Amino acid sequence: MRFTIYQESRQGGRANNEDRTTYCYSRDALMMVVADGMGGHHYGEIAAQIAVQTLADAFQREARPLLTDPFRFLQKSISNAHHAILDYAARHKLKDTPRTTCVACIIQDNVAYWAHAGDSRLYLIRDGRLIAQTKDHSRIRLLIEEGMITEAQAHFHPDRNKIYSCLGSPTPPEIEFSRKTPLDHGDVVLLSTDGLWGEVSGEMMASSLQGANLLQAVPTLLSQAEARGGAHGDNLSVVAVRWEDTYIEDASSAISTQTMTQDEVTTRLDEFGRNPAYKSDLSDDEIERAIDEIRNAIDKYTPKK
């Protein structure tokens, strides 16, 4: 595999960053995940952390170097993350379970597989055009599809943040899966929270990324969204990959997995409370306790060797 990948999360105008992102790759498979946490007193960020960490742990364990069934992997891992969040809430006797959206994508054998719950989105961009995108599990999306409101009206609608599927809800999440989608050389797969796509349209992203250096163009999109969101803007996070296959780019930005061993996996995942982009006013002791509790919640759904 050969690809260029960029990952970033920004606080925006919020007091805390409840978004979480990760990507992992083996010699023959790549996974990207974005989660947008919901819940007060730091619980939203814990729900999002459990989601991305559960998927990262599972990928590290199973991508040796391919996943046997990418759709089955996504279904099982997202469901396990959902149950781990419920266990965390039960252990802490929380009246309202912390929740998170989740969108995840696997690429192997030049084919993309993705799944999502909630309104964090995936866009597939080819030659400056949107080829595919996920459909939000939100009340706003239903109103648009029924012709009750327009896309322009949706941006200011009072229900714009209400979603009907997520991880951590008392009811199981509605996980929606893509079709097996072959990728062409130069395709861009972009996953983001609504802090980005709510301010910058998919069409604008596609146009901005056409032929552009991903490592420069994506931060520019984030800055545009951050400026438009202003003082009350949401957290905004993205993981974007340009699938290069045989494309030769500056070696400093392109990743080649050709020399990786069969059992080797590389992961980019920030530990809870360790990334300045995820601002938290928790003390060091509280962060350490949260890390232990997150690990314990996830371990219950980790197969023992």
For residue 193, give the nearest of 14, 20, 22, 43 by alpha carbon.
20
Q: Across-strand partners of 26?
A: 265
Bridge pairing between strands 19-26 and 29-38:
antiparallel
Tracing tokens 């952390």 back to the chain, one arrives at 49
In a domain, 206, yes or no: yes
Percentage of the chain modeled with pLDDT above 90: 74
In a domain, 139, yes or no: yes
Total domains in the chain come to: 1
In a domain, 305, yes or no: no
Contact between 55 and 33 (Cβ < 8 Å): yes
Residue 139 tokens, joined: 């009340």
Q: How many CA atoms lie within 13 A of 182 on its CB side?
A: 1
- Across residues 103-123, what is the average pLDDT? 97
The domain of 224 spans: 2-299
In a domain, 108, yes or no: yes
In a domain, 226, yes or no: yes
Confidence check: pLDDT of 247 > 70 = no
Residue 266 tokens, joined: 């590389």
CA distances to 147, 149, 154, 181, 207 from 159, in Å = 16, 12, 8, 32, 29
- CATH, residue 81: 3.60.40.10
In a domain, 304, yes or no: no
Min mean pLDDT across 71-75, 109-113, 176-180, 257-261 is at: 257-261
Question: What is the phi/psi pair of residue 135, to 5°?
Answer: -105, 120
pLDDT of residue 305: 59
pLDDT of residue 166: 95
Confidence check: pLDDT of 137 > 60 = yes
**For residue 215, how many other CB atoms are within 10 A of its CB?**
15
Calculate the CA dihedral of residues 217, 218, 224, 225 and round it to 10 degrees: 160
Mean residue pLDDT of the chain comes to 91
Contact between 301 and 53 (Cβ < 8 Å): no
What is the C-alpha to C-alpha distance for residues 208 and 231, in angstroms, rounded to an integer? 25
Kindly provide the residue ranges of all beta strands, DSSP E only, lying in the chain, ordered along the sequence: 2-10, 19-26, 29-38, 99-100, 102-108, 111-117, 121-126, 129-133, 176-177, 181-182, 188-192, 236-243, 254-256, 265-269
In a domain, 167, yes or no: yes
Residue type, 298: I
